[in-house]
A and B are shown apart, each in its own frame.
Chain A
Amino acid sequence: MAMALRQPGWYRGLFGLLLGAGFGFGLVIALRALSGLELFQTEQTGYPHVVVPLITAPFGFLFGFGAFDYWFRWAAGKPTIPEDHSDHGATRWQDYFKFNTDHKVIGIQYIVVTLFFFLIGGLLALLIRAELAQPGSQVVAASTFNGLFSTHATVMIFLFIIPIFAGLANYVVPLMLGAPDMAFPRLNALSFWLLPIAGIIFLGSFLAPGGAFDAGWTGYAPLAGGAPLGQTFFNIGVQFAGASSIAAALNFLVTIITMRAPGMNLWRMPLMVWAQLATSLLVVGATPFVAGAQFMTLFDRVLGMNFFNFLQGGDVISYQHIFWFYSHPAVYIMMLPGFGIISEIISTHSRKPVFGYRLMALALIGIVVLSYSVWAHHMFVSGMFSWLRVPIMISTMLIAVPTGIKVFSWLGTLFYGKIHTYSTAMLFALAFIVTFTIGGISGVMLGMIPIDIHVSDTYFIVAHIHFVLFGGSVFTIFAGLYHWFPKITGRMYDERLGRIHLWGTVIGTWMAFVPMHWVGMDGMPRRVADYASQYGDWNLVVSISAFFLGAVQLVFLYNMIVSWRFGPKAGNNPWRANSIEWLVSSPPPIYNFDEIPRVVGGPYEYGTPGARHAIMAGDEEGATVPEPKPTTVAAS
């Protein structure tokens, strides 16, 4: 036991957790005793004896678990102990529960944990839909209801969509670059382990007096300022999720900029890599704003500061500006990686280069730049200074242009191709184009101020965000998971079950989210536990479809779990794709490559005889192939 406590790992981690919690608790009590205050302050915005341990306990866990061992030992000039936590790779399932520094292990850790939170977020959604199936009060009280939709959104955004893209990219981007790992493997592992901490804090808020945080995932001041203790859990949870996100993005930026294989210039990078580069630029620039907004709310609540306290000269609307300066770019953080995935899949399965590759890459960068200038379209009715509305409207609508370029280029890629639709990944990619177009169109409508004035804060918004995030992001996530499943597990999933999952998801998505547009336009506000009886029928349709949509996801989980264990061997390159991850074994060997590959051409040179993207070491036949010139054939 004493030995186990000296080694990094779960025992020492849990010990550190207790130590951290005890230290935070003791510190608060001691300081309050010294100041002559009551030892326990239990105003709903107070609870310092809970708030401080909420910050110190996770750090205690991370220290104990071994997240900082290497750095501390190195800084102290002591010999590092690589065999304890820096061991690369996984040979047993237990290795996935360690502070592992292998990008492929971390990728799987990310994907599994985020899918777990997808399940939790989905169950929360079903509770919401059970309540809303009929007018009146069904399942939960109004106070619980507000907590449900707040945690649903928070879990889905901060613990599913944003991090699962980081997980997928973690697995494939170093492979695509021809790199042995990410640039900072320990930082990478830390990014991952911050996530479950954020998740536990968010869900732990259900146990707080007063219930889970219930001011929406937007946590607007001053409602959040006076809300019960659960809101503090949100403020702190966002810090851990945000830190995870920022650290991962920095890691991606450095990896993509410095660790490309010889020959891979920017214009030879797969669009998946471009998308991750663009996303990381957004994360690094924007995420500090949501962290700041939550810190300011935390300080208002716990320390009695007055950033947003209007009674003391605080400015209520400034919260929204800071919050949305992150949270609109966040929508693109949740969409750009998906764009990358779709480009890979459509090109591979239509056996054709991506149409207008350079414009596709530039469109990603265009979205990054524009997305910093559109945040206030969430605030057209907020009472902010009115002159800002029209410029924001124009930039909001202009962002449809690079997005349109992406859609048209995917269509262009299909033309004159050899389109294979046997793969569920490709089917999800095609379904994504259609469904996402609807979300994009309703987005342009929302950008138009007079329309937005009527439909903002209604179910139209709920419909739009779910078409974009479910019909958009989640479809691309499914596409990506199916596409790289054989690479990650070395086995093939069941295409028949995949098709059932696809059609169920497509039908469920449309049936659940299309009627939301209608009731919203007709006057049903969002975030309500009850509604006028005239909206009852459509809400029943929405609820039934939501339960159907939820049930269909079980097919997906079954397919993934059973195929991982029993699926037929997939081989190195079941899709006959060109990019580097398909040139190594499935799953790839430890450190990915015996020798770094040499990149000799673009990533999508389908149809050009003899063209290669990369040549592996020891590939005698490939080594003699000269660098091919891309042939350009003009479309008529």
Chain B
Amino acid sequence: MTRLPILKLVLATLAFGAVQSVVLLQFDWFGDAASTAAGPIDTLMDVTIVVSSFIFALVCVFLGYALIKWRAKPGDESDGLPIHGNTKLEIWWTLIPVLIVVALAGYSWAVLDDIEKKDSNAITVDVYSQQFAWTFGYPESGNKWAEGELHVPVNRQIDFKLHAQDVIHSFWVPEWRIKKDNVPGITTNALVTPDREGTFQLVCAELCGIGHTTMQAKVVVESEEKYNQWVNNLKSEVPAFLMSADQALEVQKRAEERAGGIQGSGVEEEGSGNHAD
């Protein structure tokens, strides 16, 4: 049995992995960044890309070497060496991956804690979602309401309280890197500290029906003064469709009494015309 050129194979892997990492790191994978969470998350992604590059390089180099070195000539009917395994090697290729994934998991956990740290001076903003529109409430600025447009101050943590009126929606501004589902029946929350002024797009990321594609809203991140000015000019009457779950239940009960029969699941009664076809 010929000895393996381990050193050469390792060097080839390192070289291939390094080139791949350098090439892949040239790209801005997650696009523009506009929140404090983007830094740590993008760095985590870069680290993962580097680790992955070396793992992929390892597989490719060893596979390529085997194919070049031990490819049988046509008509060769002999067998390979009857090697059944190598316990030491098998232990290593179990343990090293364990260490790698545990390290990456630990790092991810640290990043998660970092991006979910709550500031004491965070502003609360309510995000109401329904098929297929977004509505925003500003309880700390005198219960003001805005439909279809979200304004937030820059460099201030926002505690978004997410609500859904009918089905699950998902709150996502790609530049902020933060996503969380709006779940009917419960209130979920997402913490974001926008750190760049500008106009962004809020996208619904969870399939919510026919109009899912179009369920977007404009997001404006601006200075604290501009923001205050904007909020003060908003109306303070509650939009008609925003009912509490109790109110919605009342409506449904009344409908059932009227119909006097078995109704559907109740969702479609309040579903403001979902699946209108």
B-contacting residues of A (Cβ < 8 Å)?
A: 37-38, 41, 43-46, 142-143, 146, 210-211, 214-216, 220, 222-223, 225-228, 300-301, 303-304, 306, 309-312, 314-317, 350-353, 355-359, 381-383, 389-390, 393-394, 397-398, 400-401, 404-405, 407-409, 411-412, 414-422, 430, 433-434, 437-438, 441, 444-445, 447-451, 453-454, 456-458, 518, 521-523, 525, 527-532, 576, 605-608, 611, 630-636
Given contacts A419-B71, A430-B63, A528-B213, contact A383 B188 (CB under 8 A): yes
Which one of A228, A355, A407, A414 lies within 8 Å of B84 (CB-CB)? A355
CB nearest neighbor in A for B248: A311
Contact with B80, one of A417, A422, A447 (Cβ below 8 angstroms): A417
Chain A residues with Cβ below 8 Å from B29 are 518, 521-522
Asked if A381 and B180 sit within 8 Å, CB to CB, the answer is: yes
Q: A454 to chain B: which residues have CB within 8 Å? A: 30, 41, 174, 177-179
B22 within 8 A of A: no
Contact A398 B180 (CB under 8 A): no
Over the window 180-207 of chain B, the binary record of Cβ atoms lying under 8 Å from chain A Cβ atoms (1 yes, 0 no) is 1111111010000000000001011111
Binds A, one of B106-114, B135-143, B144-152, B225-233: B106-114
B166 on interface, CB distance cutoff 8 Å: yes
Closest residue of chain A to B55 (Cβ to Cβ) is: A441
Whether the pair A449, B112 counts as a contact (CB closer than 8 A) is: yes
A628 to chain B, nearest CB (A): 10
Residues of A within 8 A of B266 (CB): 304, 306, 309, 311-312
Q: Are A606 and B66 in contact (CB under 8 A)?
A: no
A353 to B102: give the CA distance in the assembly, Å. 32
Complex formed: what's the CA distance from A43 to B162 in Å? 30
State in angstroms the CA–CA spacing of A356 and B97 once bound together: 17
A226 touches B275 (CB 8 A): yes
Contact A228 B40 (CB under 8 A): no
Partner among B67, B70, B211 whose Cβ is within 8 Å of the Cβ of A430: B67
Q: Is the CB of B277 within 8 A of A211?
A: yes
Q: How far is the CB of B192 from chain A (nearest CB, A)?
A: 11
Cβ contact within 8 Å between A523 and B183: no
Question: Is A530 a contact of B252 with CB atoms below 8 Å?
Answer: no
Q: Are B56 and A437 in contact (CB under 8 A)?
A: yes
CA distance A573 to B268 in the complex (A): 61
Q: By DSSP majority rule, is chain A's interface helix, strand, loop, or mixed?
A: loop
Decide if A314 touches B66 in the complex (CB within 8 Å).
no
B257 within 8 A of A: no
Q: Quick check: is B101 within 8 A (CB to CB) of the other chain?
A: yes
Return the contact of A383 from the options B30, B186, B204, B210 (Cβ within 8 A). B186
Interface pick from B11-19, B86-94, B118-126: B86-94
Also in contact, A453 and B179, with CB within 8 A (given A353-B82, A412-B89, A635-B83): yes
Taking a contact as CB atoms under 8 Å apart, the answer to whether A381 and B170 are in contact is yes
> Does B167 have its Cβ within 8 Å of any Cβ on chain A?
yes
Is the beta-carbon distance between A146 and B207 smaller than 8 angstroms?
yes
**Which B residues touch A419, using CB under 8 A?**
66-67, 70-72
Contact A390 B67 (CB under 8 A): no
- Closest-by-CB residue of B relative to A402 is B94
Q: State whether B48 touches A416 (Cβ < 8 A).
A: no
Given A222-B167, A311-B248, A419-B72, A607-B97 contact (CB < 8 Å): no
Question: What are 22 A-B residue pairs whose CB atoms fall within 8 Å in the complex?
Answer: A44-B268, A142-B213, A223-B167, A226-B265, A300-B265, A311-B252, A314-B185, A356-B85, A381-B180, A398-B101, A401-B94, A412-B89, A416-B1, A418-B79, A441-B56, A445-B48, A448-B105, A451-B44, A454-B30, A454-B174, A457-B205, A635-B1
Supplied contacts A351-B80, A400-B101, 9 more A-B pairs, CB within 8 Å? A356-B86, A393-B109, A416-B83, A450-B111, A451-B48, A454-B41, A523-B175, A631-B84, A635-B83
CA distance A576 to B213 in the complex (A): 55
Q: Which residues of A contact B182 (CB under 8 A)?
A: 383
Counting chain B CB atoms within 10 Å of each CB, which of A143, A310, A421 scores highest? A310
Chain B residues with CB under 8 Å of A228's CB are 275, 277
Q: Are A311 and B270 in contact (CB under 8 A)?
A: yes
CA distance A450 to B107 in the complex (A): 10
Residues of B near A357 (CB, < 8 A) are: 84-85
Check A576 against B77 for contact (C-beta < 8 Å): yes
In the bound assembly, the distance between CA atoms of A48 and B172 in angstroms comes to 39
Q: Which residues does B use to contact A, with CB under 8 Å?
A: 1, 3-4, 27, 29-31, 37, 40-41, 44-45, 48, 52, 55-56, 59-60, 62-63, 66-67, 70-72, 74, 76-86, 89-90, 93-94, 97-98, 101-102, 104-105, 108-109, 111-112, 115, 162, 166-168, 170, 172, 174-175, 177-186, 188, 201, 203-214, 245, 248-249, 252, 261-268, 270-271, 274-275, 277
How far, in angstroms, from A245 to B210 measured CA to CA in the complex? 32
Main secondary structure of the interface of B (DSSP, over half): mixed
| Cα A438 to Cα B20 with chains together (Å) | 13
Task: Count how many pairs of residues, one from A and one from B, have CB atoms less than 8 Å apart in the complex.
Answer: 334
Cα of A635 to Cα of B89 in the assembled complex, Å: 9
> In the bound complex, what is the Cα–Cα distance between A300 and B263 (angstroms)?
10
Q: Are A416 and B77 in contact (CB under 8 A)?
A: no
Please tell me if the beta carbons of B105 and A606 are within 8 angstroms of each other in the complex: no
Contact across chains for B83 and A438 when beta carbons are under 8 A apart: no
Beta-carbon contact of A450 and B101 below 8 Å? no
Contact A450 B31 (CB under 8 A): no
- Are A418 and B80 closer than 8 Å at their CB atoms? yes
* Cα separation A420 to B45 with both chains bound (whole Å): 39
Tell whether, in the assembled complex, residue B82 and residue A400 are in contact, meaning their CB atoms are under 8 Å apart.
no
Other-chain residue from B37, B174, B271 in contact with A226 (beta carbon distance below 8 A): B271
CB contact between A522 and one of B30, B83, B94, B166 (< 8 Å): that residue: B30
Q: Name the A residues within 8 Å of B211 (CB-CB).
A: 142
CB of A404 within 8 A of CB of B97, answer yes
Q: How far is the CA of A300 from the CA of B265 in the complex (A)?
A: 6
With A383-B186, A444-B101 known to touch, is A390 a contact of B265 (CB < 8 Å)?
no
* Separation of A303 and B266 alpha carbons in the complex (Å): 11
Contact between A304 and B174 (Cβ–Cβ < 8 Å)?
A: no
How many angstroms from the CA of A306 to the CA of B267 in the assembled complex?
10
Contact (Cβ within 8 A) A351 B167: no
B78 touches A457 (CB 8 A): no
In the complex, what distance in Å separates the CA atom of A315 from the CA atom of B171?
20
Minimum CB–CB distance for A463 against chain B, Å: 12
- Residue contact B101 to A456, C-beta cutoff 8 Å: no
Cα separation A355 to B90 with both chains bound (whole Å): 9
- Whether A309 touches B267, Cβ cut-off 8 Å, given contacts A353-B83, A635-B86, is yes
Measured between beta carbons, the chain A residues less than 8 angstroms from B66 are 411, 414-415, 417, 419
Partner of A43, one of B31, B93, B264: B264
- Which residues of chain B are within 8 angstroms of A451 by Cβ–Cβ distance? 41, 44-45, 48, 108
CA distance A414 to B101 in the complex (A): 26
Asked if residues B82 and A450 are in contact (CB atoms below 8 Å), the reply is: no
- Residue in A211, A220, A434, A530 whose beta carbon sits within 8 Å of that of B207 in the complex: A220
A634/B86 contact (C-beta < 8 A), A228-B275, A448-B105, A451-B44 known: yes
Instruction: Kindly state the separation between the CA atoms of A213 and B201 in the bound complex, as whole angstroms.
Output: 29
Cβ B82 vs Cβ A315 within 8 A: no
In the assembled complex, how far is the CB of residue A580 from the closest CB belonging to chain B, in whole angstroms?
A: 19
A residues less than 8 Å from B172 (CB atoms): 457, 525
